[in-house]
Amino acid sequence: MKNSTLKLTRKIQLLVDLPTQEERKEALDKLYRWQNRCYRAANLIVSHLYVQEMIKDFFYLSEGIRYKLADEKKDEDGILQCYRLNATYRVISNRFKGEIPTNILLSLNKTLVSTFYKKKSEYWKGMRSLDNFKSDMAFPFLPINIRKLHYEEQKKAFCFRLFKIPFKTYLGRDFNDKRKLLERFVNGDIKLCASHIKLKGKKTFWLATFEIEKEKHDLKPEVVAEASLSLEYPMIVKIGSTRLSIGTREEFLYRRLAIQAARKRTLEGIAYCKSGKGRKRKLKAVDKFHNTESNYVDHRLHVYSRKLIDFCVKHQAGTLILLNQEDKIAIAKEEEFVLRNWSYYELMTKIKYKAEKAGIELIIG
């Protein structure tokens, strides 16, 4: 039976809701300290898990060494003092006790253990290296750690407490569905799952994961939509005798190249800019292009994938086939220009998410 729910993750900016600058700085310092401990704990967890899993292959150990990964109290050949999931938790708990809430460590350990076992066979075959976590990684927390989430009219924001730290959301103009998702959660219509806090520069983000019901459409599995990606058109889709071309080469590729060329011209011209106030003033014009290209590409791919799924829903297509994608990706890898500018993988990712949300079966050929 297919799962009737879908998990959505939304990036929501948070502000520490405290009156003075000193109090806000103290709260942020605490968050950065927790992030540091999580980064160190994550690397410890995967290292211990790998050693536990590969200890059977340490053939150079003495034959008398026991290597059964089980609790020694329950199995005479066991080498662990507790069950496996608790072993890594005890390592990080003993190491960072008092420096970070234990609920964060518990959530981190559970997530990493689950991920490790999914990739275990690749580690064993030598096809994959261990994950290496960076110091700016997002740290997880459980939904029960969020207290008193509500909308406050005076502040025009959603307010809540996380580990006794008061936060309020900053949604800006909110062209997405973040506000609606928060309202539905406050009303009890949807569920909040384990989420993360991401610290980037001087900003704090809540990577909130919601579990929602999939859209219900009158779709017919026997109606098949065939879509393909090409250089002339970002996407072409056909259902029976009905055909639709989504986007054009000029609209997507040429506009992207124009942004790249504008940034290059600006970089060449900053040598002749008026001096004063150092590097920041010189690069002021270049900084405007920092996210221009990525934001443009992300928006266009969202539009293309949305049009594709809407077209399938309109014609009741319950199955969507992406044709010859393996060949297209192979060509893109061989040609640096195509790989750099056409964003095949990003478009496929967005199509997959929207198809799942609409209840359409996606087949990649």
Does pLDDT of 345 surpass 90?
Answer: no
29 and 124 both lie in a single domain: yes
**Concatenated DSSP letters of 213-248:** EPP----EEEEEEEEE--SSSSEEEEETTEEEEES-
Average pLDDT rounded to a whole number, residues 63-77: 52
Does pLDDT of 223 surpass 90?
Answer: no
195 and 311 both lie in a single domain: no
180 and 244 both lie in a single domain: no
Mean confidence (pLDDT) of the chain: 80
Buried b (16+ CB within 10 A) or exposed e, 120-151: eeebeeeeeeeeebeeebebbbeeebbeebee
Indicate the pLDDT class of residue 80, thresholds 50, 70 and 90: low
Give per-residue pLDDT as tens, 3-14: 678 888 889 999
157 and 195 both lie in a single domain: yes
pTM as predicted = 0.74
Q: What pLDDT score was predicted for residue 339?
A: 43
Indicate the pLDDT class of residue 1, thresholds 50, 70 and 90: very low
Instruction: Check which CATH number belongs to the domain holding 341 and give it.
Output: 3.30.420
* Beta-carbon count within 10 A of 71 CB: 16
Q: Domain total for the chain?
A: 2
49 and 82 both lie in a single domain: yes
Q: What percent of the chain has pLDDT above 90?
A: 10
Average pLDDT rounded to a whole number, residues 346-354: 84
Average pLDDT rounded to a whole number, residues 100-115: 88
Q: What pLDDT score was predicted for residue 67?
A: 53
Last residue of a domain, one of 174, 193, 213: 213
Does pLDDT of 353 surpass 70?
Answer: yes
**Domain range for 301:** 220-364
8 A C-beta contact, residue 363 and residue 225: no
Q: Are strands 139-141 and 68-71 parallel, antiparallel or unpaired?
A: unpaired
Give per-residue pLDDT as tens, 147-163: 888 988 888 889 999 98
Q: What pLDDT score was predicted for residue 58?
A: 58
Last residue of a domain, one of 188, 213, 238: 213
Per DSSP, helices labelled H in the chain are 21-54, 84-96, 102-118, 120-125, 178-186, 249, 255-269, 278-282, 284-287, 292-314, 325-334, 336-341, 344-358
8 A C-beta contact, residue 266 and residue 229: no
Does pLDDT of 338 surpass 70?
Answer: no
DSSP 316: T
Cα gap 184→199, rounded to integer Å: 26
Last residue of a domain, one of 160, 180, 213: 213
Lowest average pLDDT, out of 30-34, 53-57, 213-217, goes to 53-57
Average pLDDT rounded to a whole number, residues 165-189: 86
For residue 266, which amino acid is it?
A: T
CA distances (Å), origin 276, targets 279, 285, 356? 8, 14, 53
274 and 297 both lie in a single domain: yes
Indicate the pLDDT class of residue 315, thresholds 50, 70 and 90: confident
166 and 228 both lie in a single domain: no
Q: What pLDDT score was predicted for residue 247?
A: 78
Give per-residue pLDDT as tens, 225-271: 888 876 667 778 888 888 888 877 777 777 778 888 888 888 777 77
188 and 271 both lie in a single domain: no
Does pLDDT of 276 surpass 80?
Answer: no
Cα gap 48→43, rounded to integer Å: 9
For residue 146, which amino acid is it?
A: I
More confident site: 71 or 237: 237
209 and 326 both lie in a single domain: no
For residue 298, which amino acid is it?
A: D
101 and 163 both lie in a single domain: yes
191 and 280 both lie in a single domain: no
57 and 182 both lie in a single domain: yes
